[in-house]
Chains A and B, each alone.
Chain A
Amino acid sequence: MAEQVKVEEVADAMYKMVKDSMGQKKWKATDLTKAVLELFGDRCDKALAKSAIRELIESGKCVYTYFGGSFIEIPHKEGAEN
């Protein structure tokens, strides 16, 4: 099996996906997992993707949001707060 990518690398890739589609698409954890599995092929698995999501959230680079379901987004000023 190919050598696994580092968790930081997966987290960076996820961050880019979320950032690039901000305002156009909301990502669920499962969507991000599927996307990185496709991107990295057998160098990434679900456990690694899960760790990468945790890294993203705990670093504060991304936050969980709720709009009907739960999504992962870049922190931003809450629209409803205005």
Chain B
Amino acid sequence: MAKEKRKTPKLDELEKGKWPSFVKEIKTAAEKNPMAEDLLGQLERSYEEKIGHWKHGGIVGVLGYGGGVIGRYSDLPEEFPNVSHFHTLRINHPAGWFYTSDVLRKLCDIWEKHGSGLTNMHGSTGDIIFLGTRTEELEPVFKELTDIGFDLGGSGSDVRTPSCCCGKARCEWACYDTMALTYFLTMHYQDELHRPAFPYKWKFKMAGCPNDCVASIARSDMSIIGTWRDEIQMDKEAVAEYAKSGLNIQRDVVGNCPAKCMDWDGKEIKIDNKACVKCMHCINTMPKALSPGKDRGACILIGSKAPIVEGALLSSVLIPFIKLEPPYTELIDLVDRIHEVWAENGKNRERVGEFIQRVGMGNFLEAIEVEPIPQMIAHPRENPYVFYEEYYEEDGEDSDGQEEEK
């Protein structure tokens, strides 16, 4: 006799509408996987009671690693025994999320054999997420993953799996090779990725241009965003084509320039490149006519995070322009200095952005040996009652050696 289908009226609501539904996918998996079946039951129960029934964290992992596995247990193990353990694995994704279909099949085969068969492609960390397995399956799944060339990603207080936009693989605006840098950082920081040694998580995200398709400015401790320092490249004939085809250049391009650094006389666009803030609006609007300059590199920003312990932060400029080419020595020196200072002085669960807020940007810059520059400042100080030590020396002389006026 066929098993009676579990009733899930609350979850069924999430199958309605025109969007893809995770409930539909779990139901499909539940036809052959008991973990997915019990997951539906526990989830329905959570929707009924408005209470989560997962216990999170703990000691699960693979030997030698401190990241990559997120422990999860049901607090209703008698009722839903197949999800009594439901650990998540984070798998280090390839830079730019490029796969062959053969590799995707292999990943799915491994996960159907050792886990719930449910995946999340991809998690907000960027990793491939394998949802739900038992503790005793962790080492076997890890072995099979490494056999096909994959490794676990980061979790906990470590370097999280670096991620990037597709960069030069598909985008002509990429100002540096984001995929190459992502691969390099992943390999260079293997120890820090697998063995948590920091006060809290550290995320690198690489965006090839200021469009920032990976939203690095909002969700990475170090945002590396492509930019240029010469003039925007312009194809004047293509500009004329845009005008001819009906684009209102004055209204939709020049009028929306936040730096007001463009002029349109009806025939030509003139750009004051020194005033350009690299917002990409004009380039996005007229991609055939305008493109980033030729002298390309990246801007390094620091300190963004989503709200967890404290509120959200956006990254702020640390290095306005850097040429990013192998062997990336300058970048690695900078990152190592930051890690050293933060690891030494950061509090438990304090992200680097919060650390900078606590100690002050001036002290942080001094500790990491970076000179303060105007690009690091959002706007001039508003409080005139700020005095700097170097102007007031102990013997009553000012910094020029002249006696101070009383």
Contact = CB atoms under 8 A, between A and B. Distances in A.
A58 B61 CA distance: 12
Interface stretch (B155-163, B164-172, B242-250, B259-267): B155-163
A53 B195 contact: yes
A9 interface: no
Contact of B71 (A29, A57, A75, A80): A80
B85 to A, nearest CB: 7
A54 interface: yes
B173 interface: no
Nearest to A58: B64
Contact of B195 (A54, A60, A75): A54
Interface in A54-78: 54, 57-58, 60, 63-70, 73, 75-76, 78
B110 interface: no
A81 interface: yes
Contacts of B85: 81
A30 interface: yes
Contacts of A73: 59
A32 B197 CA distance: 10
A57 B63 CA distance: 8
A70 B63 contact: no
Interface residues of A, number: 25
B59 A28 contact: no
B126 to A, nearest CB: 19
A56 B158 CA distance: 18
Among A33, A64, A67, find the residue whose CB has the most chain B CB atoms closer than 10 A. Answer: A64
B64 A78 contact: no
B73 A80 contact: yes
Interface string B194-210: 01111110000000000
B158 A65 contact: no
Contact of B59 (A30, A53, A63): A63
Contacts of B349: 68-69
Contacts of B198: 29-30
B100 interface: no
A23 interface: no
Contacts of A63: 59, 61
Contact of A80 (B58, B63, B70, B343): B58
Q: Which 8 A-B pairs have the closest CB atoms?
A: A64-B66, A70-B196, A70-B156, A70-B157, A80-B55, A29-B197, A80-B73, A65-B59
Interface of A: 28-30, 33, 50, 53-54, 57-58, 60, 63-70, 73, 75-76, 78-81
Interface of B: 55, 57-61, 63-67, 70-71, 73, 84-85, 135, 155-158, 191, 195-200, 343-344, 346, 348-349
27 contacts: A28-B157, A29-B157, A29-B195, A29-B196, A29-B198, A30-B198, A30-B344, A30-B346, A54-B195, A57-B195, A60-B63, A64-B59, A64-B66, A65-B59, A66-B71, A68-B349, A69-B196, A69-B199, A69-B200, A70-B67, A70-B157, A78-B73, A78-B135, A79-B58, A80-B57, A80-B58, A81-B135
